[in-house]
Amino acid sequence: MTPKEREILGALAWMCEQYISDDNGYLNHKAMHAGELAIEVLAAYGLVEPTPLGDRWTDKGMRLLDES
């Protein structure tokens, strides 16, 4: 990813962590369309993955959060 993509995705990831995180590593978009779209974008870059309990940060996503 480009430096600009990293900057944008870092901001999106932190907004998701702040607003739709269940504080257990899972993201719950609570059927909000904006949350659904955010998860789709993050998943397209391999930053989150679907699980039976909801979407969850990948190792790559956790590194992005740590670096942003």
**Which residue ranges make up each domain of the chain?**
3-67
pTM recorded for the entire structure: 0.86
What pLDDT score does 38 carry?
Answer: 93
User: Which of helix, strand or coil describes residue 51?
Assistant: strand
| 9-63 pLDDT per residue, tens | 999 999 999 999 988 888 988 888 998 899 999 999 999 998 887 899 999 999 9
Q: What is the pLDDT of residue 16?
A: 93
Which long-range CB contacts under 8 A does 55-63 form with residues at least 24 apart?
55/26, 55/27, 55/28, 55/29, 56/25, 56/26, 56/27, 57/25, 57/27, 61/13
The pLDDT value recorded for residue 57 is: 95
What are 38-51's pLDDT values in tens digits? Answer: 999 999 999 999 88
Predicted local confidence at residue 24, as pLDDT: 84
